[in-house]
């Protein structure tokens, strides 16, 4: 099963891990593959792209551990609260690579992780430690490695099989079992010095194994079902046939299996529990998310993890928790895996994110750790606004307005408007604020002059939904009203009396749709948007320098051949520095930041490398910002989202165009690219992803005759194949390079 997951995740690896200089902060964005509970409180979950999560409250909340790799982490084993090991690797479709295998070790409960030398290039799929010294890891092509010194050294053992081994379990330093493809079950009674093959009774792949003592064990596979032995594996009998992938027994009687089935139209989530050693199983199956790992610390407390949606294209995490022996399960992934719609920071450390199902996340560590807050509502929250670290508001569906005066420790509901949606909220001070949206048959504009204690509604001449509002003081503001569909149209309104009266300033139709507006001062403002049609995706930008008396409309295309583009947010960092958040659609499918440092006269694209829908951005200064979006995405940058390129002129006189292979190759995290131009030329060097998406422009300027060497720093990009192309006059050449972390 874990081998299958590697293949399915390959596309996701290429298109969804963040690069440039954006760091993924939300721990639960990517699928989780394994979990362990040390006791009822302490646990670790691991998953795709180096994801490591930690809980200290039994799975109610999870915190992201420092990412030390972008490789897939498939298995985790702890011997106590401090000492643990994680194994993983990369996708077999790349072939053996120097960095295909990874083992991580912690001796302080996951605060720090150090890499151990595995001695193999095979991807490792599971690990089991009997004590702090003796451990075994298994993986692709029958690889088994063993340590007797806590992982300081690993020794390869003879497995006798070339099948991938997916699971391993040791009950003490000597007795263990490994399972894998082709119905493989291997057994050792001497710490792996010799592994004996056992007859499982099936040729289907086996994904996981759990033993409670030397004799009693269970194994599961997607098509193999549940297998059971009472004599150390001499004989195995099938107990249940279902689509299970992971298993955990806490004693001879109590066990749980999890899995899921892809029917093509939807996913079945499978959880079954036994209290009689597997003689009978109670099945809990419903439409839901495939589960890939499960662990119980005792007969009652357990965690199951997996993936929401399709693993290969848009899979994201799921975390389920039970405290009553699998009778009921609570979902603890929605606050971090659901769509996030808005972000606001009051300083470089303190911020809030709001999203679907009443989600509110709070950080006081610039996003390193996010803590859920109780919003008091299950309605989607669409926007959040704070005036200081204590006082803030959020608005959402069903006309919900909530407020906090203690930094989100408590939120109170100020207003509910049934059958309506509030899309934006904006406060200029502690008293004066505005909220906008739409009802079933009219637009909604609300204002307050007492901090939201009371809200009054103003009517005006449009029934179009209001998507955004921005004020520069208590009196002067602008809002956008937009209707989409066959007769799409957008309008910009302005008020100079706090929203009592509104004047129509601009009206757009056809493909030019506006959704967000921001003003730096009384004069300078920008509105952006875009709409997806069957004929393409169109980005719109309107700029004013006179408070909206006149607007200059611009149609923006993406970089290179990536023409389809739409904008979702605009933010004035300073009067001169402006960030527009956009998404390339169709073929390129990438989130882009569109930057101006001269008040909107000139613009440049900065890629993020992610292929998800994003909603809002927020910047504290020109370097520090956040982006939020679907499936719990939170991205953070501390350098404005740019990458690093260094170039050096070498004292050589070339006679022809030369474009050399990068060195080293594979590389991590930097590589050198050498090129020569025999005469003054306009030189352009670009880097592309494996799907042809443009990642970065390294050189784009006129160069005199000479030989040059670029050092490209790819820190933050995922492992994979990249292409780099030189174009100088009529000379064009493309080469391939491999980033291997």
Distance CA 592, CA 181 (A): 42
Distance CA 552, CA 543 (A): 5
> Which range is least confidently modeled, 31-40, 98-107, 285-294, 631-640?
285-294
Distance CA 679, CA 677 (A): 6
- At residue 254's C-alpha, the angle toward residues 249 and 260, to 5°, is 65
Distance CA 146, CA 194 (A): 12
Count of beta carbons in the 10 Å neighbourhood of residue 289: 25
What pLDDT shows up at residue 67? 65
Asked, as a colleague might, if the bond just before 664 is cis with ω within 30 of 0, I would say yes
1.10.600.10, 2.40.50.100, 3.30.1330.10, 2.60.40.1930: which CATH number matches 644-739? Answer: 2.60.40.1930
Q: Is the separation of the CB atoms in 304 and 293 below 8 Å?
A: yes
User: What is the side-by-side strand order in the sheet with 381-386?
Assistant: 381-386, 392-396, 400-404, 412-415
Residue-range domain boundaries for the chain? 338-459, 644-739
What pLDDT shows up at residue 560? 53
What pLDDT shows up at residue 96? 41
What pLDDT shows up at residue 379? 93
Tokens for 543? 């700029």
pLDDT at 719 over 90: no
Q: How many helices (H) and strands (E) does the chain have?
A: 2, 64
Distance CA 655, CA 676 (A): 8
- At residue 721's C-alpha, the angle toward residues 74 and 166, to 5°, is 20
Q: What are phi and psi of 711, to 5 degrees?
A: -105, 115
Phi and psi based region of residue 575 (left: phi greater than 0; alpha: psi -120 to 50; beta: remaining): alpha
114 by Cβ neighbours in 10 Å (0-12 / 13-18 / 19+) ranks as exposed
**Can you tell me which residue has the tokens 């004599």?**
231
Q: What are phi and psi of 176, to 5 degrees?
A: -155, 170
What pLDDT shows up at residue 16? 36
Supply the DSSP symbol for 123. Answer: P
Domain 338-459 homologous superfamily, CATH: TolB, C-terminal domain (2.120.10.30)
Q: Band of the pLDDT at 94, cuts 50, 70, 90?
A: very low
pTM: 0.64
Tokens for 119? 């001695």
Tell me what the mean pLDDT of segment 74-88 comes to: 96
Q: Band of the pLDDT at 112, cuts 50, 70, 90?
A: confident
Could you report the per-residue pLDDT of 152-185, keeping only the tens digit for each? 999 999 999 999 999 999 999 999 999 999 999 9
Task: Report the relative pairing of strands 706-713 and 644-650 from DSSP bridges.
Answer: antiparallel
What pLDDT shows up at residue 92? 37
* Of 588, 556, 563, residue with least CA distance to 688: 588
pLDDT top residue among 175 and 615: 175
Distance CA 711, CA 11 (A): 28
Could you report the per-residue pLDDT of 181-239, keeping only the tens digit for each? 999 999 999 999 999 999 999 999 999 999 999 999 999 998 899 999 999 999 999 99
Map residue 629 onto helix, strand or coil: strand
Q: What are phi and psi of 158, to 5 degrees?
A: -90, 120
Q: Band of the pLDDT at 11, cuts 50, 70, 90?
A: very low
Tokens for 387? 């005036």
Tokens for 53? 């999560």
pLDDT at 448 over 60: yes
90 by Cβ neighbours in 10 Å (0-12 / 13-18 / 19+) ranks as buried
pLDDT at 8 over 60: no
pLDDT at 91 over 50: no
Q: Band of the pLDDT at 650, cuts 50, 70, 90?
A: low
* Of 1, 32, 47, residue with least CA distance to 207: 1
Within a 13 Å sphere around the CA of 255, how many CA atoms are in the beta-carbon half?
A: 29
Tokens for 676? 């020569």
pLDDT top residue among 726 and 60: 726
Q: Mean pLDDT score of the chain, rounded to an integer?
A: 85
The three state secondary structure string of 62-118 is: CEECCCCCCCEEEEEEECCCCCEEEEEECCHHHCCCCCCEEEEEECCCCCCCEEECC
Tell me what the mean pLDDT of segment 86-102 comes to: 64
pLDDT at 5 over 60: no
Could you report the per-residue pLDDT of 468-490, keeping only the tens digit for each? 999 999 999 999 998 776 667 88
Query: What percent of the chain is helix, strand and coil (3-state, nearest 5)?
Result: 5, 50, 45
Residues in CB range of 626: below 8 A, 6 or more apart: 25, 343, 345, 351, 367, 617, 618, 619, 634, 635, 636, 637
Q: Is the separation of the CB atoms in 226 and 247 below 8 Å?
A: yes
Could you report the per-residue pLDDT of 567-608, keeping only the tens digit for each? 889 999 998 899 998 876 655 566 778 888 888 888 877 777
623 by Cβ neighbours in 10 Å (0-12 / 13-18 / 19+) ranks as middle
What pLDDT shows up at residue 123? 93
pLDDT at 14 over 60: no
Map residue 255 onto helix, strand or coil: strand
Asked, as a colleague might, if the bond just before 382 is cis with ω within 30 of 0, I would say no
Q: Band of the pLDDT at 409, cuts 50, 70, 90?
A: very high
Q: What are phi and psi of 52, to 5 degrees?
A: -130, 120
Tokens for 70? 């972008």
């Amino acid at each position: 099963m874990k081998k299958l997951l590697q293949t399915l995740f390959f596309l996701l690896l290429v298109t969804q891990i963040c690069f440039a200089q954006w760091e993924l902060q939300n721990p639960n964005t990517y699928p989780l593959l394994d979990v362990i509970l040390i006791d009822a409180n302490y646990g670790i979950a691991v998953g795709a792209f180096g994801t490591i999560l930690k809980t200290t409250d039994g799975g109610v909340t999870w915190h992201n551990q420092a990412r030390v790799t972008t490789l897939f982490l498939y298995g985790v084993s702890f011997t106590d609260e401090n000492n643990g090991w994680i194994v993983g690797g990369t996708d077999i479709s790349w072939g053996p690579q120097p960095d295909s295998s990874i083992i991580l070790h912690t001796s302080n409960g996951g605060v720090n992780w150090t890499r151990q030398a595995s001695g193999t290039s095979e991807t490792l799929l599971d690990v089991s430690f009997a004590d702090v010294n003796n451990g075994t890891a298994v993986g692709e092509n029958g690889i088994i490695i063993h340590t007797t010194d806590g992982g300081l050294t690993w020794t390869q053992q003879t497995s006798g099989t070339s099948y991938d081994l997916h699971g391993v379990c040791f009950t003490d330093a000597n007795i263990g079992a490994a399972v894998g493809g082709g119905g493989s079950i291997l057994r050792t009674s001497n710490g792996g010095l010799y592994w004996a093959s056992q007859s499982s009774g099936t040729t289907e792949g086996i994904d996981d194994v759990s033993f409670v003592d030397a004799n009693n064990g269970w194994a599961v596979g997607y098509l193999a079902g549940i297998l059971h032995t009472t004599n150390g594996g001499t004989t195995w009998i099938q107990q249940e046939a279902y689509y299970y992938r992971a298993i955990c027994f806490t004693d001879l009687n109590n066990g749980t299996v999890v899995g899921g089935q892809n029917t093509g139209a939807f996913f079945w989530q499978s959880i079954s529990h036994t209290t009689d050693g597997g003689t009978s199983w109670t099945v809990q199956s419903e439409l839901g998310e495939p589960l890939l790992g499960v662990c119980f610390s005792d007969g009652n407390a357990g965690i199951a993890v997996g993936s929401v949606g399709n693993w290969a294209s848009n899979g994201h995490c799921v975390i389920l928790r039970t405290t009553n022996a699998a009778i009921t399960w609570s979902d603890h992934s929605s606050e971090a895996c659901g769509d996030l719609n808005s972000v606001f920071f009051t300083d470089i450390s303190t911020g809030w994110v709001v999203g679907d199902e009443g989600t509110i996340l709070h950080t006081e560590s610039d996003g390193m750790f996010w803590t859920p807050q109780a919003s008091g509502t299950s309605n989607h929250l669409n926007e959040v606004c704070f005036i200081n670290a204590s006082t803030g508001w959020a608005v959402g569906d069903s006309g919900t307005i909530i407020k906090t005066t203690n930094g989100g420790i408590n939120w109170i509901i100020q207003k509910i408007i049934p059958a309506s949606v509030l899309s934006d909220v904006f406060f200029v001070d502690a008293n004066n604020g505005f909220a906008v949206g739409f009802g079933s048959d009219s637009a909604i504009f609300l204002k307050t002059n007492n901090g939201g204690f009371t809200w009054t509604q103003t009517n005006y001449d449009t029934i179009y939904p209001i998507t955004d509002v921005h004020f520069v003081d208590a009196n002067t503001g602008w809002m956008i009203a937009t209707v989409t569909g066959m007769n799409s149209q957008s309008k910009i309104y302005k008020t100079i009396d706090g929203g009592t009266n509104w004047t129509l300033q601009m009206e757009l139709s056809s493909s030019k749709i506006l959704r967000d507006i921001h003003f730096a001062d009384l004069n300078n403002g920008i509105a952006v948007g875009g709409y997806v049609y069957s004929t393409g995706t169109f980005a719109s930008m309107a700029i004013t320098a006179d408070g909206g008396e006149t607007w200059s409309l611009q149609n923006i295309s993406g970089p290179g051949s990536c023409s389809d583009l739409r904008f979702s947010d605009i933010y004035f960092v300073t009067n001169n520095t402006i960030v527009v958040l956009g998404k390339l659609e169709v073929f390129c499918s990438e989130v882009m930041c569109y930057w101006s440092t001269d008040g909107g006269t000139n613009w440049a694209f900065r890629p993020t490398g992610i292929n998800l829908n994003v909603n809002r951005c927020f910047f504290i200064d020109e370097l520090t910002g956040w982006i939020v979006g679907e499936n719990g995405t939170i991205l953070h940058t501390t350098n404005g989202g740019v990458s690093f390129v260094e170039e050096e002129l070498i004292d050589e006189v070339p006679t022809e165009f030369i474009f050399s292979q990068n060195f080293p190759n594979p590389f991590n995290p930097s590589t050198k690219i050498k090129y020569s131009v025999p005469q003054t030329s306009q030189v352009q060097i670009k880097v592309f992803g494996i799907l042809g998406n443009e990642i970065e422009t390294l050189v784009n300027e006129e160069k005199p005759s000479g030989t040059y060497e670029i050092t490209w720093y790819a820190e933050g990009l995922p492992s994979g194949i990249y292409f780099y192309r030189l174009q100088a006059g009529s000379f064009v050449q493309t080469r391939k390079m491999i980033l291997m972390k």
